[in-house]
Amino acid sequence: MSKFYPLSVANVRQETRDTIVATFAVPPSLRERFAFTQGQHLTLRAQVNGQDLRRSYSICSAVQDGDLRVAIKRTPGGQFSTWANDTLKPGVSIEVMPPMGHFNLPLSAEHHKRYLGFAAGSGITPMLSIIKTTLQAEPKSSFSLVYGNRSSAAVIFREELAELKDVFGGRLNIVYVMSREQQDIDLFNGRITREKCDQLFQHWVRVADHDAAFVCGPEQMMHDVAAALQAHGMAKEAIKVELFAASIPKTRHEPHARPVVGRQDCEVTVIIDGSHRSFTMEKDKESVLDAGLKQGIDIRYSCKGGVCSTCRCKVVEGKLEMDANYALEDYEIARGFVLSCQAFPVTDRIVLDFDQDN
Ligand SMILES: Cc1cc2nc3c(=O)[nH]c(=O)nc-3n(C[C@H](O)[C@H](O)[C@H](O)COP(=O)(O)OP(=O)(O)OC[C@H]3O[C@@H](n4cnc5c(N)ncnc54)[C@H](O)[C@@H]3O)c2cc1C
Ligand code: FES
């Protein structure tokens, strides 16, 4: 699970002026390893200007497509996305970690559900995978998408979404909200804010008629949409969110204000790919991930900012506290999962299992 595999790029398409869509060639020996669920993401790794960089990119293809595809939007001044847009060409090989993430809901052909989706900018990538996969797997379900962009020229997957509308007819509704391009209907001008959601829920879509919602975009939009959905009656558990932080929020670890009971150091055991490795670390100095990496243990990670959940593991013994968490849902925390890049030991001994998924 924690390993990277070299995959070669089979195809690159210029989707918009600043976004490429890259398809990877997955050899038969790796097909099972790179099988994915809609809404999951890949961690890509490359040496960029002498630095070993890792970044997460959501898979934008449908499970039924049989393709492994990502869309990478060039972030102004962004190291990895600039490199990827300039360098990825057919035949180029890049290190890729198998798909991860829990931005999805179980599907069934028997379902008769109505889903809502909210995406801003490149936040459309996992949404496209979710919409395409869901509408094919659930012939009686429907999807309504609110998609925020600056202008039509910036819309990623505009053509593909139009084609999906042709294929799925009334089962797919799309509303484009544009912040820098005036549209005829005033309701669809502006940004996806709390106020905009309240208006949309009053005039365009009834939240009460929907079973679940997916939200993917920057932090403020995510909070605004989730708050509006809940205010209009949707249960928190029915709202799936994925933070798409181009810049990872930086948090500083605040050492425990209260005196920590027991010793200052902690004995840590990590279980990865079935093998156990143990080491000692100071409780408040660095995260378990950083301490483990210093010991030469190959723990999987990407953002180191509590966003991507690549470093997720299950606490088998002991207690830890997390600084930031933008990735784990309440039910995962209740089951004992933590983000190791944000986790600091509280007890004198902890055991973390990176192999458990549920
Ligand atoms: C789960 C997950 C899935 C993701 N999926 C996708 C995806 O499918 N497609 C995609 O394109 N991205 C996706 N991202 C974001 C992606 O991982 C990178 O964060 C993004 O490409 C920027 O990386 P970078 O190395 O280019 O920028 P960095 O070098 O990390 O950032 C450079 C600097 O640019 C600044 N900066 C960042 N954003 C902006 C901006 N918009 N304007 C001005 N300055 C800025 C930052 O402050 C930072 O200091 C995803 C992120 C997560 C966590
Ligand atoms: S490495 Fe991204 S959440 Fe820990």
Residue whose CA is closest, atom 48 of ligand 1?
247
| Ligand 2 pocket mutation, candidates 97, 251, 302, criterion most atoms within 8 A of CB | 302
126 CA from centroid of ligand 2 (Å) = 18
Tell me how many degrees the CA angle 103-242-307 measures, rounded to the nearest 5: 110
Residue whose CA is closest, atom 19 of ligand 1?
246
Could you tell me if 344 and 288 are in contact, meaning their C-beta atoms sit under 8 angstroms apart? yes
Residue 250's pLDDT band, with cuts at 50, 70 and 90, is low
Domain with CATH 2.40.30.10 in the chain: 5-100
| 341 C-beta closer than 6 A to ligand 2 | yes
Residue whose CA is closest, atom 24 of ligand 1?
78
| pLDDT computed for residue 257 by the predictor | 55
For 274-297, what is each residue's pLDDT tens digit? 999 999 999 989 999 999 999 999
| 58 C-beta closer than 6 A to ligand 2 | no
Query: pTM of the predicted model, to two decimals?
Result: 0.92
| pLDDT computed for residue 255 by the predictor | 73
CATH fold for domain 114-243? Rossmann fold (3.40.50)
Closest ligand 2 atom, residue 306 Cα: 3
The DSSP secondary structure of 30-42, one letter per residue, reads GTTTT---TT-EE
| 78 C-beta closer than 6 A to ligand 1 | yes
For 214-233, what is each residue's pLDDT tens digit? 999 999 999 999 999 999 99
Statement: residue 46 has pLDDT above 70: yes
200 CA from centroid of ligand 1 (Å) = 29
| pLDDT computed for residue 249 by the predictor | 61
Q: What is the mean pLDDT of the chain?
A: 94
b vs e for 343-354, b when ≥16 Cβ sit within 10 Å of the residue's Cβ? bbbbbeebbbbb
The ligand with the least distance to the CA atom of 41 is 1
190 CA from centroid of ligand 1 (Å) = 23
Domain with CATH 3.10.20.30 in the chain: 265-353
Q: Which of 259, 222, 268 is nearest to 242 (CA)?
A: 222
Closest ligand 2 atom, residue 302 Cα: 1
Closest ligand 1 atom, residue 70 Cα: 8
Residue 204's pLDDT band, with cuts at 50, 70 and 90, is very high
321 CA from centroid of ligand 2 (Å) = 15
Which residue's entry shows tokens 């049989």? 66
CATH fold for domain 265-353? Ubiquitin-like (UB roll) (3.10.20)
CATH superfamily of 5-100: Translation factors (2.40.30.10)
For 325-335, what is each residue's pLDDT tens digit? 989 999 999 99
- 231's CB contacts (< 8 A; 6+ apart) are 198
The ligand with the least distance to the CA atom of 46 is 1
Could you tell me if 229 and 222 are in contact, meaning their C-beta atoms sit under 8 angstroms apart? no
Q: Distance of CA 166 to CAs 113, 155, 163, 170, Å?
A: 20, 18, 5, 9
- 204's CB contacts (< 8 A; 6+ apart) are 175, 187
Which residue's entry shows tokens 């879509």? 205
For 64-88, what is each residue's pLDDT tens digit? 999 999 999 999 999 999 999 999 9
Closest ligand 2 atom, residue 327 Cα: 3
Residues in a beta bridge with 265: 282
| 43 C-beta closer than 6 A to ligand 1 | no
| pLDDT computed for residue 192 by the predictor | 96
Statement: residue 358 has pLDDT above 90: no
28 CA from centroid of ligand 2 (Å) = 29
| 310 C-beta closer than 6 A to ligand 2 | yes
88 CA from centroid of ligand 2 (Å) = 24
| Averaged pLDDT, 227-251 | 86
| Ligand 2 pocket mutation, candidates 53, 80, 311, 325, criterion most atoms within 8 A of CB | 311
Statement: residue 256 has pLDDT above 90: no
Residue 291 dihedral angles phi and psi, to the nearest 5°: -65, -40
| Ligand 1 pocket mutation, candidates 60, 75, 214, criterion most atoms within 8 A of CB | 75
Domain with CATH 3.40.50.80 in the chain: 114-243
